[in-house]
């Protein structure tokens, strides 16, 4: 795929990269866990603060807006301090954000919760900016999509465990609404345990990573000079739009799924029971990424991406125009085909960027703001058209990703 990636990685690239890859896999797990926990935090806060769908989706807006604001500044910082220190900074910021949930719970304040989410997301942004190109540079460019899919598989383990554990810790079998002040305080306090645990693990990981000697090639240790403009690379710009559409669709579906599966004509489940199916939605991504890693060694990334997006779109349309078990399982199965979309789109978008890879990563990660913009749009349509018809929003996103896979990802820039 990317001739530059392979040619620019001489002897240092041939050394064993198994340990750096293991470090990256652990980091992918942690920010996957933190990101996915929002899908359970959101219905929990919706009940505590009596929010409508659009207001509840502000959880995702707070989280993913950090990508738009911070991606380019953090990419610039990464260029100065290198991949490893950038990942340390990301873990530390995440830890601070997780600690901030404690005062937010004490004060039972939705704005404070949103602030804590934003800071936590700032750390995740730094990890996305640094960890994704870090993995693509750990070997030949031709196998970068497969390598990134493997790392993202560990991310999916985190995204799968988070809703399951969150459902046990936060959600109940009874609908939460019209709470007294004391009940709101008790419900908010439930958030403390998972986020305190998360904060401790993140700070410990940051300390360990700071002390490790990964023996990385010079081009991954910072102070890289990158000349030229990223905007002349059509496949990068279209790929950034693809990331916008993908993250928007993935997060929208995951965020609204608990409420969707609770509908009488879909699953009629309690929120706690529905959380298990959210775990299955994310769990499909584990299977898909391990399978995708093998497939991407044999079939081009563009074809795999386009086909996965087409199937995902058809599944979403199925859930819109059906009911009961068919509607329930068709939306859960979307996760299986979501699996290859982010890592494959990322790898295709940064191919042949050379020294501009860091800046390209910053642009792509800005596009993760799709997770802040698309969910409130779906929430708005859920409020006015009904929750089922609101799934037309992610369906449109998958149509664009299909275009990028089959056509837009082809390199046509100078």
**Above pLDDT 70, what percent of the chain?**
90
CA–CA gap between residue 389 and residue 386 (Å, rounded): 6
What would the mean pLDDT of 206-212 be, rounded to a whole number?
87
**For the segment 140-176, what is each residue's pLDDT rounded down to a tens digit?**
766 777 788 888 888 888 888 888 888 888 776 555 5
pLDDT attached to residue 5: 36
Neighbours of 264 (CB within 10 A): 8
Q: Which residue has the higher pLDDT, 266 or 60?
A: 266
**For the segment 338-388, what is each residue's pLDDT rounded down to a tens digit?**
988 998 998 899 888 877 777 888 889 889 889 889 988 999 999 999 999
Place of tokens 């980091």: 27
What would the mean pLDDT of 180-208 be, rounded to a whole number?
88
- Please give the mean pLDDT across all residues of the chain: 85
pLDDT attached to residue 71: 87
Q: How many angstroms separate the Cα of 248 from the Cα of each of 75, 254, 397?
A: 22, 10, 8
Token pair in block for residue 298: 């044999």
What would the mean pLDDT of 399-413 be, rounded to a whole number?
88
CA–CA gap between residue 85 and residue 101 (Å, rounded): 25
Q: Flag whether pLDDT at 225 surpasses 60.
A: yes
CA–CA gap between residue 111 and residue 309 (Å, rounded): 35
Q: Which residue has the higher pLDDT, 97 or 285?
A: 97
* Confidence tier at 177 by pLDDT (50, 70, 90): low
* Confidence tier at 6 by pLDDT (50, 70, 90): very low
pLDDT attached to residue 3: 35
Domain boundaries, the chain: 3-408
What would the mean pLDDT of 214-220 be, rounded to a whole number?
65
Looking at domain 3-408, its CATH class is mainly alpha
Neighbours of 395 (CB within 10 A): 17
């Amino acid at each position: 795929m990317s001739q530059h990636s392979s040619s620019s990685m001489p002897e240092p690239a041939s050394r064993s990269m198994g340990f750096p890859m293991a470090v990256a896999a652990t980091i992918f797990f942690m920010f996957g866990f933190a990101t996915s926990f929002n899908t359970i935090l959101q219905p929990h806060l919706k009940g505590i603060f009596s929010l409508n769908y659009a207001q509840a989706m502000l959880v995702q807006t707070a989280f993913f807006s950090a990508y738009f604001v911070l991606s380019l500044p953090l990419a610039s910082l990464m260029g100065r301090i290198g991949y490893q220190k950038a990942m340390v900074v990301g873990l530390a910021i995440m830890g601070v954000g997780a600690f901030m949930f404690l005062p937010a719970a004490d004060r039972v304040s939705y704005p404070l919760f949103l602030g804590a989410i934003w800071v936590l997301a700032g750390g995740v942004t730094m990890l996305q900016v640094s960890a994704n190109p870090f993995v693509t540079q750990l070997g030949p460019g031709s196998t970068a999509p497969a390598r990134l899919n493997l790392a993202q598989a560990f991310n999916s383990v985190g995204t799968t465990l988070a809703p399951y554990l969150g459902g046990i810790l936060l959600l109940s079998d009874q609908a939460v609404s019209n709470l007294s002040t004391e009940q709101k305080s008790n419900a908010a306090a439930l958030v403390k345990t998972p986020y305190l645990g998360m904060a401790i693990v993140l700070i410990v990981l940051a300390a360990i990573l700071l002390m490790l000697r990964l023996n990385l090639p010079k081009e991954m240790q910072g102070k890289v000079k990158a000349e030229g403009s990223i905007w002349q690379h059509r496949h990068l710009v279209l790929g950034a739009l693809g990331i916008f559409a993908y993250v928007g669709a993935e997060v929208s579906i995951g965020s609204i799924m608990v409420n969707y599966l609770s509908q009488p004509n879909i699953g009629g489940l309690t929120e706690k029971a529905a959380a298990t199916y959210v775990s299955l939605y994310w769990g499909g991504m584990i299977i898909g990424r391990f399978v995708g890693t093998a497939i991407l060694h044999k079939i081009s990334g563009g074809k795999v991406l386009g086909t996965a997006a087409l199937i995902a779109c058809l599944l979403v349309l199925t859930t819109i125009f059906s009911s009961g078990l068919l509607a329930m399982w068709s939306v859960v199965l979307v996760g299986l085909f979501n699996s290859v979309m982010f890592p494959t789109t990322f790898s295709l978008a940064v191919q042949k960027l050379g020294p501009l890879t860091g800046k390209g990563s910053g642009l792509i990660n800005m596009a993760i703001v799709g997770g802040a913009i698309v969910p409130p749009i779906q929430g708005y349509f859920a409020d006015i058209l009904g929750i089922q018809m609101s799934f037309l929003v992610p369906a449109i996103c998958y149509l664009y990703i299909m275009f990028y896979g089959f056509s837009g990802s082809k390199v046509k820039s100078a």
